A and B are shown apart, each in its own frame.
Chain A
Amino acid sequence: MGKILTRMGDGFLSEMTEGELQKDIEEGTKDAAERAGVPPLSADELKHLFDIYRSPAKFVSVEPGNEIVLSFDAGTLKLQRLGINTGRIHNIQIMERAMGADTMEMGHIDYSYKAVKPIVGDEQQEFEQALLVSTLPLFYGAMPNLAIYSQPDGPVANSAELLPLGKIAESRAAQEEAVELAVKDMVYVGSAMYESGADGINFDTTGAAGDPDFLATLRATKTLKEKYPEMCIELGMAGEFILGMHGKLEFEGVRLAGLYPHEQVKLAQRAGVTIFGPTVNTNTSRSCAWNIARAITFIKPCVANATIPVHANMGMGVGGAPVVDNPPTDAISRASKAMVEIGRLDGL
């Protein structure tokens, strides 16, 4: 029996037998099921996944009827990073007209709410112009990025430095202070951009700094939705597991540390999130097939628990995609097809 050409999580090509591929998929789903306390993929789903990954085609796609819509994070930065020296308004038009994007997001190169706060007026005027020359739904986005509120980048004592010194209470107090500052910044910038016409606000890599980061974003969402009930808020996560950097933070009585996507989405909904973007990080030592089986196992119950649209994060190092700057189309197309057809997503 011939070998199947596939990729590892680090992006490099690998050959597997059918038996090895099957084993990897089974181990991937088992890993996620055990960690999150959710069901593994069914026999039919495993077979579907196996068929996708053993296909010899360089590119695969969904079957007709399974098309979904795409939303983006760091939208306007993607072309800038390629060294294509166009402005953000041009990037939006290129994505809309040449790349067929369903939605787009404008973001600043210093892609954090704290960084955007002092220059929000400049962001607003450019965003207002972008809205005039584009038709697709246009988000404004940035990261909560609680880490930059810590010294030396911010005013708050550095909780990561306090922890190894055994100063747990001080570390927690510093994180709580960062939460207050971050909520203010997210509400300020979100309000400004919405009043400039943003069709939606995106909070990207939520939870990157652990449970305080998640809490700040949930609270900012709640405040913004109370202020602007019609606002669309997309909340994209940083990883599948909320790290307990503080450990005791709660949102409406639910402890945040340790939550997986199927639990995260419930809180996001309660806060008023419109579109939820779960994230599963890629393990570079395992195959892409292992990674996608694991990712879908986390995400399927998230979709089932959701009453709002779910747009799983896919791209470099997340959603079963390899950890490379430009994921190869063979890997990203397989992961996308699997996510949509087995994960039953509303978008990517």
Chain B
Amino acid sequence: MQMTRGMRIREAKAYVAQKLSVSVQDLADPVRMAEVRDDLDLGLVRSLPHRVKGIDAKFRIAELLDIGINCVNRFRDRVGKKFK
């Protein structure tokens, strides 16, 4: 949120927490966030089969946070597909 919208830290935390339906405090809780990442397909620390990895997770992040991510847009253009 700092990189795409220039938000200061408090505003960025509030925005992300609202979008992920968690509290601001939860954002810094690795146990809670592991659940959130698993539920919302945002990528996990541990690499597991059939879970999003790498840039896949960035597509999800862009969609959930409603932001444009440069590499996601470029990848989309390169593969020439439209994603809903």
Binding site for B on A (CB under 8 A): 64-65, 67-69, 97, 103, 131-135, 137-138, 194-200, 230-232, 274-275, 307-309, 345-347
Contact = CB atoms under 8 A, between A and B. Distances in A.
B25 A64 contact: yes
Contacts of A198: 70-71
Contacts of A195: 74
Interface residues of B, number: 28
Contacts, number: 77
Q: Is the interface of A mostly helix, strand, loop or mixed?
A: loop
Given A64-B25, A133-B54, A138 B6 contact: no
A274 B7 CA distance: 9
B28 A194 contact: no
Contacts of A64: 25, 28
Q: Is the interface of B mostly helix, strand, loop or mixed?
A: helix
B70 A132 contact: no
A197 B2 contact: no
A346 B7 CA distance: 9
Given A132-B55, A197-B75, A274 B9 contact: no
Contacts of B47: 97
Interface of B: 2-4, 6-9, 12, 24-25, 27-28, 42-43, 45, 47, 53-55, 57-58, 61, 68-71, 74-75
A234 to B, nearest CB: 8
A134 B55 CA distance: 6
A346 B71 contact: no
A135 B55 contact: yes
Given A135-B61, A197-B75, A232-B4, A309 B55 contact: no
Contact of B70 (A133, A194, A275): A194
A197 B68 CA distance: 12
A230 B7 CA distance: 14
Nearest to A231: B70
Contact of A199 (B7, B43, B71): B71
B8 A230 contact: no
Nearest to A131: B71
Contacts of B12: 69, 309, 346
A138 B68 CA distance: 14
B35 to A, nearest CB: 17
A197 B73 CA distance: 8
A207 B4 CA distance: 25
A137 B71 CA distance: 9
